[in-house]
Amino acid sequence: MARTRKPSQNQRPSEGRSGARQSDNRRTRPQRGKAQPSSQPANAEASVARTAARAPKPGLKPALRPSYAGAYFLFGRNSVEAALKNRQRECLRLIGTRKALDDEKIIQIRPAIKTFEVEDIEDIASAVPEGAPHQGLLLEVRFLPGVHIADLKPIPDQKNIILMLDQVTDPQNVGACLRSAAAFGACALITQDRNSPKESGTLARASAGSLEALPWLQVPNLSQALGQLRDMGYWHVGLDGDTKMTIKDVSLGDNIVIVMGSEGSGLRPLVKKTCDVIAAIPTTGAVESLNVSNAAAIALYELSGK
């Protein structure tokens, strides 16, 4: 799921023409007493500066990093405990302070897991976003296995609600939406596999353990996914403030996909066109819009029949 970026190098084209006059050639000759240009590329000095900035400063230990390819750290008690309890999650190493690792409720979930004790809690802090609460615990994990859209076939005689996010890029918002979706009994969360965040410790913490409990599909094309879900019996409700129909007026049965866009641009035109109904969450107008995770919670509550 990781992406790589290829560096680029620009080479300045040579100037002048072979048929130039002698007087023109003299203009390009270096003058006495002036410094000569370096033979290194123009960006060499900046490149050296960037390399020096990335190097560990004297006296500081390097940040604690995952030791396995394709792995990342979960942090904090809730995220760690939920992942250890999820048998679909491949857990590689449990890292913590002595106090954190003395917690038998954590250790007993997977007694055979490799543990690594750190003496200085700053080692834990070096592996998480600045200021993020970690409670002295890290869990090195691999990404969860993927879920296929065919696995979301509606179950008869019950509410089948799916939450779809269109280009919501903040991992904390996506994590909060996962939490709301799990709380109101949704079947799954669907996002696009680009222009949306991937699994991370920050997202997992915002989800309060829901990342381990709710299936999360990342698909190449949301409009195509909506078409597949329609063939499976789902109706699609897009959320948009520029409509007279409210979420309370929607009555489409038990199988519903709630489609929400980003706070800035909302639903993209093609995704919006694919929805069966566009509805709004009525507000007083005191604020321009709701946070996407708050709006998701309201829509899930209204349409899940809780």
**What average pLDDT does the structure give for the chain?**
84
User: Cα angle vertex 31, ends 27, 36, to 5°?
Assistant: 110
CATH of domain 71-142: 3.30.1330.30
251 has pLDDT over 70: yes
| Ranges of each domain in the chain | 71-142, 149-304
Confidence of residue 264 (pLDDT cuts 50, 70, 90): confident
Confidence of residue 208 (pLDDT cuts 50, 70, 90): very high
Confidence at residue 205, expressed as pLDDT on a 0 to 100 scale:
96
Q: What is the pLDDT of residues 111-123, one digit of tens each?
A: 999 999 999 999 9
Confidence of residue 61 (pLDDT cuts 50, 70, 90): low
Distance CA 276, CA 267 (A): 14
Distance CA 43, CA 20 (A): 30
State the DSSP code for 246: B
190 has pLDDT over 50: yes
26 has pLDDT over 70: no
209 CB-near residues (< 8 Å, 6+ apart): 78, 79, 81, 82
Mean pLDDT to the nearest integer, 32-55:
47
Confidence of residue 223 (pLDDT cuts 50, 70, 90): very high
- For residues 58 and 76, the model is more confident at 76
Mean pLDDT to the nearest integer, 240-257:
90
Return the CATH architecture of domain 149-304.
3-Layer(aba) Sandwich (3.40)
27 has pLDDT over 60: no
